[in-house]
Structure 1
Amino acid sequence: MNVRHDPSHERLLAYAAGTLSPPEAVVVSAHLALRPENAAWVRDLQAVGGELLDTLDPAPMEEQALARALARVEVDGGEVEAEPALNDMPELPVPLRRYPLGPWRWVGPGMRTRDVLAPRDGDTRVILLKINSGMKTPKHTHGGVELTCVIEGAYATDEARFDVGDFEEADPEVLHQPRVVSDRPCLCVVALDGQIKLDGWLGPLFQPLARL
């Protein structure tokens, strides 16, 4: 029996409170579309939070609060798809169908990536990453936080296996080399802060080529 991998409670609480960055919220929303039971828990958190807000005295809004709120409205439009899909990938979860996509780009043997044209936050953006069966990424760590949700297929690291709907949270302390273990290509949506950092003495040589 495979172990499920969900976002941390802290990240789901931040999503429910509306404090995640827009790119991170996009990946969490894709996970919630694939795990309805987690989406129900988040809705309960939002309902409790709404009741608590009703008991608080008014307070001045922070600078840029309106801009952040509008970005979150664009990211988290609820469960109903009110507008036509804006891209050519019907296999994507509904939240990702709301965004145009850039062209596929080759990033290595058996690996392609495609930009999800969702709101950015500094150097943090959203991409689709597709890796063929049996292939693996270079061993790497991260310049910042990397959030990954599996949409199709499965991959494994030395520590765990990640199947459809599973969620991985990585940071500069994580050194891994995901490899595709499913018979079909593995498709993931990723919120990536900065660039990956290749491991080993050849890392600096090939680093300019490893841009996602």
Structure 2
Amino acid sequence: MIPRHGPSEERLLAYAAGVLSPPQAVVVATHLALRPAADAWVRRLQAVGGQFLEETAPVALSSDALTRALARVETDAGEVKRPALLNDMPELPEPLRRYALGPWRWIGPGMRVRDVHAPRDGDCRVILLRIDPGRETPRHTHRGDELTCVLTGAYATETDRFEVGDLEEADGEVLHRPRVVSDQPCLCVAALDGQIQLDGWLGRLMQPFVRL
């Protein structure tokens, strides 16, 4: 079952098949960590894919496959080390705790952003966005796709409301102005492809100063 505020079927299928772009996969994995029912649905898709692989005729390995595998084993010192904490936000869902974070940057009154050092895909990268209660972003659209998952708080657009665990998909056809409607700051993780495009003459004046 796909949640009302979740990824499209096509995006979930790409995620289950392991072909979704890395930044978008981070956001989808975060959404699934917050929505166990959706995660169970994706696991069923992966099980179907696994069954398909089992029924597919095997392909012979290269003649030196075993030699290369053993060489990699021999280079492992065999020491088990406790992994260091990668970021200073242990309250984040597990998929985000795997990555280091950049410093918080001010992008407007009551709004801050920091980079998530997850794998990029061209101009597509992962960010954390924190907006204070009552604040709203400038009205904008996008050059590419933008996936946003709510971690704390809630925000509303002109047509909908998004709460913890909800995921919004937006592209160049979506023109919106998200506004925080919760009593606490709204923290989101987003996979952003390119820069947002501000609307109107004032937005065009502000555009050089708004870098996410």
What is the TM-score normalised by the length of structure 1?
Answer: 0.86
Please tell me whether the aligned partners of residues 138 and 203 of structure 2 are also in contact (alpha carbons under 8 angstroms): no
How far off its partner does 1:56 sit? 2.3
How far off its partner does 1:201 sit? 1.4
* Alignment-derived partner of residue 114 in structure 1: 114
Query: Whole-Å Cα distance in 1 between the matches of residues 138 and 105 of structure 2?
Result: 17
* 1:100 partner letter: A
* Alignment-derived partner of residue 66 in structure 1: none
* Alignment-derived partner of residue 24 in structure 1: 24
How far off its partner does 1:25 sit? 0.1
* Alignment-derived partner of residue 67 in structure 2: none
Pairing of 1:125-136 with structure 2 (within 5 A): 125-136=125-136
* 1:189 partner letter: V
* Unaligned residue ranges in structure 2 (runs of 5+): 61-81
User: Does residue 145 of structure 1 match 2:145?
Assistant: yes
Pairing of 1:77-96 with structure 2 (within 5 A): 83=83, 85-96=85-96
Query: Whole-Å Cα distance in 1 between the matches of residues 190 and 91 of structure 2?
Result: 16
How far off its partner does 1:189 sit? 0.1
* Alignment-derived partner of residue 54 in structure 2: 54
* Unaligned residue ranges in structure 1 (runs of 5+): 61-81
* Alignment-derived partner of residue 182 in structure 2: 182
How far off its partner does 1:58 sit? 5.2
* Alignment-derived partner of residue 70 in structure 2: none
Partner SS, residue 201 of structure 2: coil
How far off its partner does 1:57 sit? 3.5
Which structure has the larger Rg? Answer: 2
Please tell me whether the aligned partners of residues 145 and 169 of structure 2 are also in contact (alpha carbons under 8 angstroms): yes
Query: Whole-Å Cα distance in 2 between the matches of residues 118 and 124 of structure 1?
Result: 10
* Alignment-derived partner of residue 170 in structure 2: 170
How far off its partner does 1:91 sit? 1.6
My pick for the range that moved more, 3-12 or 184-193, is 3-12
How far off its partner does 1:7 sit? 1.1
Percentage of identical aligned residues = 72
Query: Whole-Å Cα distance in 1 between the matches of residues 28 and 202 of structure 2?
Result: 34
* 1:148 partner letter: T
User: Does residue 8 of structure 1 match 2:8?
Assistant: yes
Query: Whole-Å Cα distance in 2 between the matches of residues 132 and 48 of structure 1?
Result: 43
How far off its partner does 1:33 sit? 0.5
Query: Whole-Å Cα distance in 1 between the matches of residues 178 and 9 of structure 2?
Result: 24
- CA RMSD of the aligned region, Å? 1.6
Query: Whole-Å Cα distance in 2 between the matches of residues 207 and 103 of structure 1?
Result: 22
Aligned pair count reads 189
* 1:203 partner letter: G
Query: Whole-Å Cα distance in 2 between the matches of residues 132 and 111 of structure 1?
Result: 7
What is the TM-score normalised by the length of structure 2?
Answer: 0.86
Query: Whole-Å Cα distance in 1 between the matches of residues 58 and 14 of structure 2?
Result: 21
* Alignment-derived partner of residue 100 in structure 1: 100
Please tell me whether the aligned partners of residues 111 and 129 of structure 2 are also in contact (alpha carbons under 8 angstroms): yes
Partner SS, residue 103 of structure 2: coil
Partner SS, residue 200 of structure 2: coil
* Alignment-derived partner of residue 74 in structure 1: none
Please tell me whether the aligned partners of residues 150 and 163 of structure 2 are also in contact (alpha carbons under 8 angstroms): yes
* Alignment-derived partner of residue 65 in structure 1: none
